Structure 1
Protein backbone atom coordinates (compact mmCIF):
# COMPACT_ATOMS: atom_id res chain seq x y z
CA UNK A 1 0.00 0.00 0.00
CA UNK A 2 1.41 3.40 -1.01
CA UNK A 3 1.90 6.18 1.52
CA UNK A 4 -0.78 8.25 -0.22
CA UNK A 5 -3.31 5.42 -0.19
CA UNK A 6 -2.62 4.74 3.50
CA UNK A 7 -3.15 8.41 4.34
CA UNK A 8 -6.42 8.48 2.42
CA UNK A 9 -7.57 5.41 4.34
CA UNK A 10 -6.71 7.06 7.66
CA UNK A 11 -8.52 10.25 6.61
CA UNK A 12 -11.64 8.28 5.70
CA UNK A 13 -11.57 6.50 9.06
CA UNK A 14 -11.23 9.82 10.87
CA UNK A 15 -14.12 11.39 8.94
CA UNK A 16 -16.34 8.39 9.63
CA UNK A 17 -15.44 8.38 13.33
CA UNK A 18 -16.25 12.06 13.74
CA UNK A 19 -19.48 11.79 11.79
CA UNK A 20 -20.66 8.91 13.97
CA UNK A 21 -19.59 10.62 17.21
CA UNK A 22 -21.57 13.72 16.26
CA UNK A 23 -24.52 11.65 15.09
CA UNK A 24 -24.55 9.67 18.34
CA UNK A 25 -24.54 12.85 20.44
CA UNK A 26 -27.38 14.33 18.37
CA UNK A 27 -29.41 11.14 18.77
CA UNK A 28 -28.71 10.65 22.48
CA UNK A 29 -29.81 14.17 23.41
CA UNK A 30 -32.38 14.75 20.64
CA UNK A 31 -30.46 17.83 19.51
CA UNK A 32 -31.99 18.20 16.04
CA UNK A 33 -35.66 17.87 15.14
CA UNK A 34 -37.54 18.15 11.83
CA UNK A 35 -37.74 21.72 10.57
CA UNK A 36 -35.04 23.09 12.88
CA UNK A 37 -33.12 26.18 11.84
CA UNK A 38 -29.71 25.77 13.43
CA UNK A 39 -27.48 28.77 14.01
CA UNK A 40 -23.90 27.45 13.91
CA UNK A 41 -21.58 29.78 15.81
CA UNK A 42 -18.40 30.05 13.76
CA UNK A 43 -15.38 31.59 15.48
CA UNK A 44 -12.76 30.75 12.88
CA UNK A 45 -11.18 28.07 15.07
CA UNK A 46 -10.77 24.39 14.27
CA UNK A 47 -13.71 23.25 16.41
CA UNK A 48 -16.41 25.44 14.89
CA UNK A 49 -15.14 24.78 11.35
CA UNK A 50 -15.41 21.03 11.99
CA UNK A 51 -18.85 21.45 13.56
CA UNK A 52 -20.21 23.24 10.50
CA UNK A 53 -18.56 20.79 8.11
CA UNK A 54 -19.96 17.68 9.84
CA UNK A 55 -23.44 19.17 10.26
CA UNK A 56 -23.49 19.89 6.53
CA UNK A 57 -22.62 16.25 5.83
CA UNK A 58 -25.43 15.06 8.09
CA UNK A 59 -27.83 17.58 6.57
CA UNK A 60 -27.21 16.07 3.14
CA UNK A 61 -27.98 12.52 4.25
CA UNK A 62 -30.27 12.71 7.29
CA UNK A 63 -33.86 11.41 7.11
CA UNK A 64 -35.15 14.79 8.32
CA UNK A 65 -34.98 18.30 6.91
CA UNK A 66 -33.22 21.08 8.81
CA UNK A 67 -31.42 24.24 7.77
CA UNK A 68 -28.10 25.79 8.78
CA UNK A 69 -26.96 29.38 9.05
CA UNK A 70 -23.41 30.20 10.10
CA UNK A 71 -22.92 33.23 12.35
CA UNK A 72 -19.63 34.89 13.20
CA UNK A 73 -19.23 37.59 15.81
CA UNK A 74 -16.60 40.08 14.66
CA UNK A 75 -15.43 41.46 18.03
CA UNK A 76 -13.18 44.05 16.37
CA UNK A 77 -9.94 42.59 17.61
CA UNK A 78 -6.93 44.42 16.12
CA UNK A 79 -5.65 42.61 13.06
CA UNK A 80 -8.73 40.38 12.68
CA UNK A 81 -8.83 39.21 9.02
CA UNK A 82 -12.43 40.15 8.20
CA UNK A 83 -12.31 38.66 4.70
CA UNK A 84 -11.44 35.06 5.67
CA UNK A 85 -14.80 33.76 6.90
CA UNK A 86 -17.03 35.40 4.26
CA UNK A 87 -14.78 34.06 1.51
CA UNK A 88 -14.78 30.56 2.98
CA UNK A 89 -18.54 30.45 3.59
CA UNK A 90 -19.32 31.75 0.11
CA UNK A 91 -16.98 29.17 -1.41
CA UNK A 92 -18.93 26.30 0.22
CA UNK A 93 -22.35 27.86 -0.36
CA UNK A 94 -23.50 28.27 3.25
CA UNK A 95 -25.93 30.96 4.41
CA UNK A 96 -24.18 33.22 6.89
CA UNK A 97 -24.32 36.42 8.88
CA UNK A 98 -21.40 38.45 10.22
CA UNK A 99 -22.33 40.37 13.38
CA UNK A 100 -20.06 43.33 14.15
CA UNK A 101 -19.83 44.31 17.82
CA UNK A 102 -16.81 45.98 19.40
CA UNK A 103 -16.65 43.82 22.51
CA UNK A 104 -12.85 43.97 22.37
CA UNK A 105 -12.78 47.64 23.39
CA UNK A 106 -15.39 47.02 26.08
CA UNK A 107 -13.38 44.21 27.66
CA UNK A 108 -10.14 46.19 27.53
CA UNK A 109 -11.84 49.26 29.03
CA UNK A 110 -13.61 47.46 31.88
CA UNK A 111 -10.88 45.05 33.01
CA UNK A 112 -7.59 46.04 34.58
CA UNK A 113 -4.39 45.25 32.71
CA UNK A 114 -3.28 41.68 33.29
CA UNK A 115 -6.74 40.36 34.23
CA UNK A 116 -8.04 37.43 32.22
CA UNK A 117 -10.79 38.40 29.80
CA UNK A 118 -12.57 35.08 29.26
CA UNK A 119 -15.47 35.50 31.70
CA UNK A 120 -16.56 38.97 30.60
CA UNK A 121 -15.93 38.26 26.93
CA UNK A 122 -18.03 35.09 27.15
CA UNK A 123 -20.98 36.91 28.77
CA UNK A 124 -20.95 39.67 26.19
CA UNK A 125 -20.66 37.19 23.33
CA UNK A 126 -23.47 35.00 24.66
CA UNK A 127 -25.90 37.92 24.88
CA UNK A 128 -25.15 39.01 21.31
CA UNK A 129 -25.52 35.48 19.95
CA UNK A 130 -28.87 34.99 21.73
CA UNK A 131 -30.13 38.25 20.24
CA UNK A 132 -28.92 37.23 16.78
CA UNK A 133 -30.61 33.82 17.04
CA UNK A 134 -33.89 35.55 17.81
CA UNK A 135 -33.48 37.90 14.85
CA UNK A 136 -32.76 34.97 12.52
CA UNK A 137 -35.60 32.83 13.85
CA UNK A 138 -33.15 30.05 14.79
CA UNK A 139 -34.63 27.19 16.83
CA UNK A 140 -31.25 25.85 17.98
CA UNK A 141 -27.84 27.42 18.64
CA UNK A 142 -24.92 25.07 17.92
CA UNK A 143 -21.59 25.61 19.69
CA UNK A 144 -18.28 23.91 18.94
CA UNK A 145 -17.33 22.69 22.42
CA UNK A 146 -15.89 19.16 22.37
CA UNK A 147 -15.39 16.37 24.93
CA UNK A 148 -12.17 17.86 26.31
CA UNK A 149 -13.83 21.28 26.78
CA UNK A 150 -16.61 19.62 28.78
CA UNK A 151 -14.16 17.78 31.05
CA UNK A 152 -12.02 20.92 31.48
CA UNK A 153 -15.12 22.81 32.62
CA UNK A 154 -15.88 20.05 35.12
CA UNK A 155 -12.45 20.42 36.73
CA UNK A 156 -12.50 24.23 36.56
CA UNK A 157 -15.75 24.23 38.51
CA UNK A 158 -14.46 21.68 41.03
CA UNK A 159 -11.05 23.29 41.58
CA UNK A 160 -12.01 26.96 41.48
CA UNK A 161 -15.81 27.16 41.84
CA UNK A 162 -16.66 24.48 44.38
CA UNK A 163 -19.31 22.96 42.10
CA UNK A 164 -19.75 19.59 40.43
CA UNK A 165 -20.78 21.08 37.11
CA UNK A 166 -19.69 20.76 33.48
CA UNK A 167 -21.03 21.83 30.06
CA UNK A 168 -24.20 19.92 29.13
CA UNK A 169 -24.50 18.72 25.53
CA UNK A 170 -27.92 20.41 25.43
CA UNK A 171 -29.31 23.24 27.53
CA UNK A 172 -31.94 25.94 27.67
CA UNK A 173 -30.97 29.58 28.12
CA UNK A 174 -31.75 31.33 31.41
CA UNK A 175 -34.64 33.26 29.85
CA UNK A 176 -36.10 30.04 28.41
CA UNK A 177 -36.02 31.33 24.82
CA UNK A 178 -33.13 29.38 23.31
CA UNK A 179 -31.93 25.78 23.08
CA UNK A 180 -28.15 25.46 22.89
CA UNK A 181 -26.61 22.26 21.55
CA UNK A 182 -23.06 20.93 21.50
CA UNK A 183 -22.93 18.24 18.79
CA UNK A 184 -19.17 17.73 19.31
CA UNK A 185 -19.74 16.57 22.90
CA UNK A 186 -18.40 13.06 22.17
CA UNK A 187 -15.48 14.20 19.98
CA UNK A 188 -11.84 14.19 21.11
CA UNK A 189 -9.87 17.39 20.60
CA UNK A 190 -6.92 15.51 19.10
CA UNK A 191 -9.24 14.18 16.39
CA UNK A 192 -10.42 17.72 15.63
CA UNK A 193 -6.81 18.88 15.28
CA UNK A 194 -6.16 16.15 12.70
CA UNK A 195 -9.45 16.87 10.94
CA UNK A 196 -8.65 20.60 10.62
CA UNK A 197 -5.27 19.75 9.11
CA UNK A 198 -6.87 17.30 6.71
CA UNK A 199 -9.55 19.78 5.61
CA UNK A 200 -7.14 22.74 5.55
CA UNK A 201 -9.59 25.06 7.26
CA UNK A 202 -8.50 28.75 7.18
CA UNK A 203 -7.92 29.00 10.94
CA UNK A 204 -8.16 32.44 12.58
CA UNK A 205 -6.36 32.70 15.96
CA UNK A 206 -8.04 34.49 18.87
CA UNK A 207 -5.67 37.29 19.89
CA UNK A 208 -7.95 38.51 22.67
CA UNK A 209 -7.85 35.48 24.95
CA UNK A 210 -5.62 32.89 23.31
CA UNK A 211 -2.45 34.82 24.04
CA UNK A 212 -3.09 35.24 27.78
CA UNK A 213 -0.55 33.39 29.95
CA UNK A 214 -1.46 31.12 32.88
CA UNK A 215 -5.16 30.84 32.08
CA UNK A 216 -6.86 28.41 34.46
CA UNK A 217 -8.44 26.62 31.50
CA UNK A 218 -5.03 26.22 29.87
CA UNK A 219 -3.62 24.70 33.06
CA UNK A 220 -6.52 22.23 33.25
CA UNK A 221 -6.13 21.44 29.55
CA UNK A 222 -2.45 20.63 30.03
CA UNK A 223 -3.37 18.36 32.95
CA UNK A 224 -5.92 16.44 30.87
CA UNK A 225 -3.50 16.05 27.96
CA UNK A 226 -0.83 14.76 30.33
CA UNK A 227 -3.27 12.22 31.79
CA UNK A 228 -4.33 11.12 28.32
CA UNK A 229 -0.69 10.54 27.37
CA UNK A 230 0.38 8.79 30.57
CA UNK A 231 -2.80 6.91 31.46
CA UNK A 232 -4.66 5.72 28.33
CA UNK A 233 -8.38 5.36 28.93
CA UNK A 234 -8.57 7.76 31.88
CA UNK A 235 -10.20 10.56 29.86
CA UNK A 236 -12.77 8.16 28.41
CA UNK A 237 -13.58 6.88 31.90
CA UNK A 238 -14.01 10.40 33.27
CA UNK A 239 -16.36 11.39 30.47
CA UNK A 240 -18.37 8.20 31.04
CA UNK A 241 -18.73 9.31 34.66
CA UNK A 242 -20.58 12.42 33.50
CA UNK A 243 -23.21 10.11 32.03
CA UNK A 244 -23.39 7.84 35.09
CA UNK A 245 -24.19 10.14 38.00
CA UNK A 246 -25.26 8.60 41.32
CA UNK A 247 -26.89 11.35 43.43
CA UNK A 248 -27.34 9.01 46.41
CA UNK A 249 -23.55 8.70 46.67
CA UNK A 250 -22.76 12.40 46.55
CA UNK A 251 -23.71 14.99 49.18
CA UNK A 252 -26.22 17.38 47.61
CA UNK A 253 -29.43 17.42 49.66
CA UNK A 254 -31.23 19.12 46.76
CA UNK A 255 -30.55 16.18 44.44
CA UNK A 256 -31.20 13.36 46.89
CA UNK A 257 -33.47 13.10 49.92
CA UNK A 258 -30.94 12.11 52.57
CA UNK A 259 -33.24 13.41 55.31
CA UNK A 260 -36.06 11.11 54.27
CA UNK A 261 -33.88 8.03 53.76
CA UNK A 262 -35.35 5.03 55.62
CA UNK A 263 -34.44 1.43 56.37
CA UNK A 264 -35.67 -1.03 53.77
CA UNK A 265 -35.70 1.56 50.98
CA UNK A 266 -34.54 0.28 47.59
CA UNK A 267 -32.15 2.61 45.78
CA UNK A 268 -31.57 2.60 42.05
CA UNK A 269 -27.79 2.21 42.37
CA UNK A 270 -27.62 0.18 45.58
CA UNK A 271 -26.91 1.53 48.99
CA UNK A 272 -23.48 0.81 50.45
CA UNK A 273 -20.96 0.51 47.61
CA UNK A 274 -18.85 3.67 47.41
CA UNK A 275 -16.55 2.28 44.72
CA UNK A 276 -17.77 0.01 41.95
CA UNK A 277 -15.47 -2.79 40.80
CA UNK A 278 -15.04 -3.38 37.10
CA UNK A 279 -17.32 -6.41 37.17
CA UNK A 280 -20.44 -6.05 39.30
CA UNK A 281 -21.98 -9.36 40.50
CA UNK A 282 -25.57 -10.06 39.53
CA UNK A 283 -26.55 -10.64 43.16
CA UNK A 284 -25.78 -8.51 46.18
CA UNK A 285 -23.80 -10.08 49.00
CA UNK A 286 -26.96 -10.53 51.12
CA UNK A 287 -28.52 -12.69 48.37
CA UNK A 288 -30.95 -10.09 47.09
CA UNK A 289 -31.57 -10.32 43.35
CA UNK A 290 -31.10 -6.85 41.84
CA UNK A 291 -33.72 -7.68 39.22
CA UNK A 292 -36.32 -7.42 42.00
CA UNK A 293 -35.63 -3.73 42.57
CA UNK A 294 -38.38 -1.65 40.98
CA UNK A 295 -37.19 1.47 39.16
CA UNK A 296 -39.63 3.93 37.66
CA UNK A 297 -38.87 4.79 34.05
CA UNK A 298 -40.08 7.63 31.88
CA UNK A 299 -42.13 6.80 28.78
CA UNK A 300 -39.89 6.30 25.77
CA UNK A 301 -39.75 9.24 23.36
CA UNK A 302 -39.32 8.55 19.67
CA UNK A 303 -36.10 10.10 18.40
CA UNK A 304 -35.15 10.07 14.73
CA UNK A 305 -31.69 8.63 14.01
CA UNK A 306 -29.73 11.46 12.40
CA UNK A 307 -27.25 8.92 10.98
CA UNK A 308 -29.95 7.11 9.02
CA UNK A 309 -30.34 7.80 5.30
CA UNK A 310 -32.93 10.03 3.71
CA UNK A 311 -36.13 8.11 2.81
CA UNK A 312 -36.33 7.05 -0.83
CA UNK A 313 -39.21 7.68 -3.24
CA UNK A 314 -40.61 10.44 -1.03
CA UNK A 315 -41.46 8.03 1.81
CA UNK A 316 -41.70 9.61 5.23
CA UNK A 317 -40.43 8.20 8.50
Structure 2
Protein backbone atom coordinates (compact mmCIF):
# COMPACT_ATOMS: atom_id res chain seq x y z
CA UNK A 1 0.00 0.00 0.00
CA UNK A 2 1.30 3.45 -0.89
CA UNK A 3 2.42 5.83 1.83
CA UNK A 4 -0.37 7.94 3.32
CA UNK A 5 0.20 11.62 2.62
CA UNK A 6 -0.90 14.66 4.62
CA UNK A 7 -0.43 18.12 3.15
CA UNK A 8 -0.98 21.01 5.55
CA UNK A 9 -1.42 24.36 3.81
CA UNK A 10 -0.85 27.55 5.74
CA UNK A 11 0.38 31.05 5.01
CA UNK A 12 -0.76 34.60 4.61
CA UNK A 13 -4.35 35.54 3.94
CA UNK A 14 -4.76 36.38 0.27
CA UNK A 15 -1.70 34.37 -0.79
CA UNK A 16 -3.74 31.69 -2.58
CA UNK A 17 -4.63 29.03 -0.01
CA UNK A 18 -8.12 28.56 -1.50
CA UNK A 19 -6.65 27.94 -4.95
CA UNK A 20 -4.06 25.59 -3.47
CA UNK A 21 -6.57 23.41 -1.63
CA UNK A 22 -8.84 23.24 -4.68
CA UNK A 23 -5.84 22.14 -6.73
CA UNK A 24 -5.08 19.33 -4.29
CA UNK A 25 -8.71 18.26 -4.57
CA UNK A 26 -8.28 18.07 -8.36
CA UNK A 27 -5.31 15.75 -7.75
CA UNK A 28 -7.47 13.35 -5.76
CA UNK A 29 -6.77 14.59 -2.24
CA UNK A 30 -9.56 14.58 0.34
CA UNK A 31 -9.53 18.24 1.37
CA UNK A 32 -10.75 20.30 4.31
CA UNK A 33 -10.52 24.02 4.95
CA UNK A 34 -10.13 25.90 8.25
CA UNK A 35 -9.36 22.80 10.31
CA UNK A 36 -8.48 23.22 14.01
CA UNK A 37 -4.87 22.03 14.35
CA UNK A 38 -5.68 19.61 17.16
CA UNK A 39 -8.02 17.66 14.85
CA UNK A 40 -5.41 16.98 12.16
CA UNK A 41 -3.89 13.85 13.83
CA UNK A 42 -7.35 12.38 14.38
CA UNK A 43 -8.38 13.06 10.78
CA UNK A 44 -5.14 11.58 9.45
CA UNK A 45 -5.50 8.48 11.62
CA UNK A 46 -9.11 7.93 10.52
CA UNK A 47 -8.41 8.19 6.80
CA UNK A 48 -5.14 6.25 6.93
CA UNK A 49 -7.26 3.26 7.99
CA UNK A 50 -9.60 3.56 5.00
CA UNK A 51 -7.83 0.64 3.24
CA UNK A 52 -6.58 2.73 0.35
CA UNK A 53 -9.87 4.40 -0.49
CA UNK A 54 -8.34 7.70 0.61
CA UNK A 55 -4.54 7.89 0.58
CA UNK A 56 -3.95 11.64 0.48
CA UNK A 57 -5.53 14.44 2.49
CA UNK A 58 -5.03 18.18 2.36
CA UNK A 59 -5.98 20.63 5.10
CA UNK A 60 -5.84 24.40 5.39
CA UNK A 61 -4.88 25.80 8.78
CA UNK A 62 -4.36 29.53 9.05
CA UNK A 63 -4.85 32.66 11.12
CA UNK A 64 -8.57 31.97 11.41
CA UNK A 65 -7.67 29.36 14.03
CA UNK A 66 -6.42 32.15 16.28
CA UNK A 67 -4.20 31.10 19.17
CA UNK A 68 -4.89 27.44 18.36
CA UNK A 69 -2.50 27.93 15.45
CA UNK A 70 0.39 28.09 17.92
CA UNK A 71 -0.03 24.33 18.43
CA UNK A 72 0.45 23.51 14.75
CA UNK A 73 4.24 23.38 14.87
CA UNK A 74 4.32 20.66 17.53
CA UNK A 75 1.49 18.76 15.84
CA UNK A 76 3.38 18.71 12.55
CA UNK A 77 6.52 17.44 14.26
CA UNK A 78 4.60 14.65 15.99
CA UNK A 79 2.97 13.60 12.71
CA UNK A 80 6.33 13.45 10.98
CA UNK A 81 7.51 10.95 13.60
CA UNK A 82 4.73 8.58 12.51
CA UNK A 83 4.59 6.50 9.34
CA UNK A 84 2.77 9.28 7.49
CA UNK A 85 4.30 11.47 4.82
CA UNK A 86 3.64 15.02 6.04
CA UNK A 87 4.29 18.18 4.03
CA UNK A 88 3.84 21.69 5.42
CA UNK A 89 3.25 24.13 2.57
CA UNK A 90 3.51 27.84 3.24
CA UNK A 91 2.05 30.39 0.81
CA UNK A 92 3.58 33.85 0.84
CA UNK A 93 3.24 37.08 -1.14
CA UNK A 94 4.44 40.66 -0.90
CA UNK A 95 2.55 43.15 1.27
CA UNK A 96 1.62 45.29 -1.73
CA UNK A 97 0.20 42.37 -3.67
CA UNK A 98 -1.78 41.10 -0.67
CA UNK A 99 -3.19 44.58 -0.12
CA UNK A 100 -4.19 44.83 -3.78
CA UNK A 101 -5.89 41.43 -3.68
CA UNK A 102 -7.95 42.37 -0.64
CA UNK A 103 -8.90 45.68 -2.21
CA UNK A 104 -9.98 44.06 -5.49
CA UNK A 105 -12.09 41.38 -3.79
CA UNK A 106 -13.39 43.72 -1.05
CA UNK A 107 -12.92 40.95 1.49
CA UNK A 108 -12.27 41.67 5.13
CA UNK A 109 -8.88 40.58 6.44
CA UNK A 110 -9.15 37.93 9.20
CA UNK A 111 -7.17 40.24 11.48
CA UNK A 112 -9.70 42.99 11.04
CA UNK A 113 -9.04 44.41 14.49
CA UNK A 114 -6.21 46.42 12.97
CA UNK A 115 -7.15 49.84 11.53
CA UNK A 116 -5.48 49.37 8.13
CA UNK A 117 -4.97 46.44 5.79
CA UNK A 118 -1.19 46.90 5.81
CA UNK A 119 -1.10 46.70 9.61
CA UNK A 120 -3.22 43.54 9.51
CA UNK A 121 -0.89 41.95 6.94
CA UNK A 122 2.17 42.90 8.98
CA UNK A 123 0.69 41.45 12.17
CA UNK A 124 -0.25 38.20 10.44
CA UNK A 125 3.22 37.91 8.93
CA UNK A 126 4.80 38.21 12.38
CA UNK A 127 2.38 35.67 13.84
CA UNK A 128 3.23 33.10 11.15
CA UNK A 129 6.98 33.69 11.07
CA UNK A 130 7.90 30.52 12.96
CA UNK A 131 5.62 28.35 10.81
CA UNK A 132 7.23 29.72 7.68
CA UNK A 133 10.61 28.69 9.05
CA UNK A 134 9.32 25.17 9.62
CA UNK A 135 7.72 24.80 6.17
CA UNK A 136 8.84 22.01 3.85
CA UNK A 137 7.76 24.02 0.83
CA UNK A 138 7.27 27.75 0.34
CA UNK A 139 5.52 29.20 -2.70
CA UNK A 140 5.70 32.95 -3.23
CA UNK A 141 2.58 33.86 -5.20
CA UNK A 142 3.49 37.53 -5.66
CA UNK A 143 3.78 37.27 -9.43
CA UNK A 144 1.58 34.24 -9.99
CA UNK A 145 -1.88 33.95 -11.49
CA UNK A 146 -4.18 31.22 -10.17
CA UNK A 147 -3.28 29.04 -13.18
CA UNK A 148 0.43 29.51 -12.52
CA UNK A 149 -0.04 28.60 -8.87
CA UNK A 150 -1.84 25.46 -9.94
CA UNK A 151 1.14 24.58 -12.13
CA UNK A 152 3.50 25.07 -9.18
CA UNK A 153 1.31 22.80 -7.09
CA UNK A 154 1.30 20.19 -9.85
CA UNK A 155 5.08 20.06 -9.93
CA UNK A 156 5.17 19.40 -6.19
CA UNK A 157 2.14 17.25 -5.41
CA UNK A 158 0.82 15.53 -8.53
CA UNK A 159 1.95 12.04 -9.43
CA UNK A 160 4.16 11.53 -12.52
CA UNK A 161 1.09 10.39 -14.45
CA UNK A 162 -0.87 13.48 -13.43
CA UNK A 163 2.02 15.73 -14.47
CA UNK A 164 2.00 14.32 -18.01
CA UNK A 165 -1.72 13.85 -18.43
CA UNK A 166 -3.30 16.30 -16.05
CA UNK A 167 -6.68 16.38 -17.74
CA UNK A 168 -9.36 13.92 -18.75
CA UNK A 169 -9.86 13.78 -22.52
CA UNK A 170 -13.14 12.49 -23.92
CA UNK A 171 -13.31 11.60 -27.60
CA UNK A 172 -16.91 11.88 -28.73
CA UNK A 173 -18.24 10.64 -32.07
CA UNK A 174 -21.59 11.98 -33.23
CA UNK A 175 -23.84 12.57 -36.22
CA UNK A 176 -24.64 16.10 -37.36
CA UNK A 177 -28.09 14.75 -38.19
CA UNK A 178 -28.70 14.51 -34.45
CA UNK A 179 -27.20 17.85 -33.47
CA UNK A 180 -23.81 19.12 -32.37
CA UNK A 181 -22.95 17.99 -28.80
CA UNK A 182 -23.07 20.93 -26.43
CA UNK A 183 -20.29 19.54 -24.24
CA UNK A 184 -17.70 19.51 -27.04
CA UNK A 185 -14.78 21.93 -26.65
CA UNK A 186 -13.68 21.28 -30.21
CA UNK A 187 -15.64 19.88 -33.16
CA UNK A 188 -14.18 18.42 -36.35
CA UNK A 189 -16.45 17.86 -39.36
CA UNK A 190 -15.60 14.60 -41.14
CA UNK A 191 -18.29 14.78 -43.82
CA UNK A 192 -15.65 15.53 -46.47
CA UNK A 193 -14.34 11.96 -46.18
CA UNK A 194 -15.69 9.20 -48.47
CA UNK A 195 -18.85 7.75 -46.94
CA UNK A 196 -19.03 3.98 -46.31
CA UNK A 197 -22.82 4.24 -46.19
CA UNK A 198 -22.92 4.14 -49.96
CA UNK A 199 -21.16 0.78 -50.05
CA UNK A 200 -23.96 -1.79 -49.57
CA UNK A 201 -21.70 -4.29 -47.82
CA UNK A 202 -20.66 -1.66 -45.27
CA UNK A 203 -23.95 0.11 -44.68
CA UNK A 204 -25.07 -1.95 -41.69
CA UNK A 205 -21.63 -2.06 -40.11
CA UNK A 206 -20.09 0.62 -37.89
CA UNK A 207 -16.77 2.42 -37.67
CA UNK A 208 -15.68 -0.20 -35.13
CA UNK A 209 -15.74 -2.90 -37.82
CA UNK A 210 -12.54 -3.59 -39.74
CA UNK A 211 -14.06 -3.47 -43.27
CA UNK A 212 -15.32 0.07 -42.60
CA UNK A 213 -11.96 1.16 -41.19
CA UNK A 214 -10.15 -0.41 -44.14
CA UNK A 215 -12.42 1.40 -46.60
CA UNK A 216 -11.89 4.80 -44.96
CA UNK A 217 -8.14 4.29 -44.57
CA UNK A 218 -7.54 3.53 -48.24
CA UNK A 219 -7.98 7.18 -49.19
CA UNK A 220 -4.89 9.43 -48.94
CA UNK A 221 -7.05 12.28 -47.65
CA UNK A 222 -7.82 10.21 -44.54
CA UNK A 223 -4.16 9.63 -43.77
CA UNK A 224 -3.27 13.28 -44.37
CA UNK A 225 -6.15 14.45 -42.21
CA UNK A 226 -5.25 12.18 -39.30
CA UNK A 227 -1.62 13.32 -39.41
CA UNK A 228 -2.74 16.93 -39.15
CA UNK A 229 -5.21 16.11 -36.35
CA UNK A 230 -2.51 14.35 -34.32
CA UNK A 231 -0.10 17.23 -34.90
CA UNK A 232 -2.48 19.95 -33.73
CA UNK A 233 -3.75 17.98 -30.73
CA UNK A 234 -0.23 17.02 -29.63
CA UNK A 235 0.54 20.73 -29.68
CA UNK A 236 -2.64 21.84 -27.90
CA UNK A 237 -3.03 19.26 -25.14
CA UNK A 238 0.19 20.07 -23.22
CA UNK A 239 -0.74 23.75 -23.32
CA UNK A 240 -4.21 22.95 -21.96
CA UNK A 241 -2.54 21.03 -19.14
CA UNK A 242 -0.24 23.96 -18.37
CA UNK A 243 -3.25 26.26 -18.15
CA UNK A 244 -4.88 23.96 -15.61
CA UNK A 245 -7.67 22.60 -17.80
CA UNK A 246 -9.21 19.52 -16.18
CA UNK A 247 -11.53 18.27 -18.94
CA UNK A 248 -11.36 18.32 -22.73
CA UNK A 249 -14.05 16.92 -25.03
CA UNK A 250 -13.15 16.42 -28.69
CA UNK A 251 -16.11 15.99 -31.04
CA UNK A 252 -15.78 14.10 -34.32
CA UNK A 253 -18.88 14.33 -36.47
CA UNK A 254 -20.09 12.77 -39.70
CA UNK A 255 -23.59 12.68 -41.14
CA UNK A 256 -25.20 9.95 -39.07
CA UNK A 257 -22.51 9.24 -36.49
CA UNK A 258 -22.19 5.58 -37.44
CA UNK A 259 -19.18 5.13 -39.72
CA UNK A 260 -16.57 7.86 -40.29
CA UNK A 261 -16.80 9.62 -36.93
CA UNK A 262 -16.66 6.32 -35.03
CA UNK A 263 -13.64 5.03 -36.96
CA UNK A 264 -11.61 8.20 -36.54
CA UNK A 265 -12.59 8.69 -32.90
CA UNK A 266 -11.23 5.21 -32.20
CA UNK A 267 -7.94 6.18 -33.88
CA UNK A 268 -7.60 9.33 -31.79
CA UNK A 269 -8.36 7.39 -28.60
CA UNK A 270 -5.66 4.78 -29.30
CA UNK A 271 -3.07 7.34 -30.34
CA UNK A 272 -3.35 9.52 -27.25
CA UNK A 273 -3.80 6.63 -24.87
CA UNK A 274 -0.44 5.31 -26.09
CA UNK A 275 1.04 8.71 -25.26
CA UNK A 276 -0.10 8.26 -21.66
CA UNK A 277 -3.13 10.53 -21.53
CA UNK A 278 -6.26 9.82 -19.49
CA UNK A 279 -8.68 8.98 -22.30
CA UNK A 280 -12.40 8.24 -22.50
CA UNK A 281 -14.56 7.36 -25.49
CA UNK A 282 -18.22 7.89 -26.27
CA UNK A 283 -20.04 6.96 -29.49
CA UNK A 284 -23.16 9.03 -29.05
CA UNK A 285 -25.07 8.11 -32.18
CA UNK A 286 -23.49 4.88 -33.41
CA UNK A 287 -26.57 2.78 -32.65
CA UNK A 288 -29.18 5.29 -33.81
CA UNK A 289 -31.11 4.04 -36.83
CA UNK A 290 -33.43 5.92 -39.11
CA UNK A 291 -34.34 5.69 -42.76
CA UNK A 292 -31.56 6.22 -45.27
CA UNK A 293 -33.43 9.11 -46.81
CA UNK A 294 -33.69 10.91 -43.50
CA UNK A 295 -30.07 10.34 -42.60
CA UNK A 296 -28.31 10.79 -45.88
Q: TM-score, normalised by structure 2?
A: 0.29
More helix by share: 2
Q: Which has the higher contact order (CA 8 A, sep 6+)?
A: 1
Structure with larger Rg: 2
- Say which structure is richer in strand: 2
Question: TM-score, structure 1 length as denominator?
Answer: 0.27
